[in-house]
Amino acid sequence: MRSEYERQIIHIILGILFIVLNYFIGRELLSILLFFVILLGLILMQIKLYHKYKLPYVDKLLFKFERPRVTPGLGSLWYVVGVFITGLMFIDFAKFTAVILILAIGDGFATIFGLSGRHPLPWNKRKTVEGTTAFIIGGSTVLLIYPSPLTFFIILLSAIGESIPSCIDDNILIPLIAGTLFFIF
């Protein structure tokens, strides 16, 4: 359980780091950087999965921060892909920031507080009312940038979307839901 909390703290910190990088180096350079991180991630996954090579630093990070019994590095890769997609969707820094805050803080809080939740959701027994509520509260940091009922509605729909059973990773699903809604509105 401790490593899951650590994972989510990294999840939140990375989201904030991507926002700061976007601010200082711009969307174009951030997109290029993310593209190369995705390529490097795919190469490292290829090396780990198919060639079974030992990569001491990578192995240590995967052991410490990756969930057990999952494809090594896949969650991290999807996170970077979600941020990359968001960067492609929005030239507007504020909308990029809003979507990444929902992804980083909303989803991070959902897991941190959902782990100790005792009230499963009726439509998904693997998720809790506490986690979904924490998603909404954490995601509400976006209201500092876009203070409107519409923004709260986007946060609410993102939380519901994250809680519905799906074969799409949350790190992709949340940016798609929030990004599409910010794009439309």
Q: Tens digit of pLDDT for each residue in 112-146? A: 999 999 999 999 999 999 999 999 999 999 999 99
pTM of the model: 0.94
Contacts of 126 (CB under 8 A, 6+ apart): 120, 165
pLDDT digits (tens, 9 = 90+) for 46-88: 998 888 778 888 878 877 777 778 887 899 999 999 999 999 9
Burial of 10 (0-12, 13-18, 19+ CB in 10 A): middle
User: 3-state DSSP call for residue 121?
Assistant: strand
Element (H, E) at 23: helix 2-46
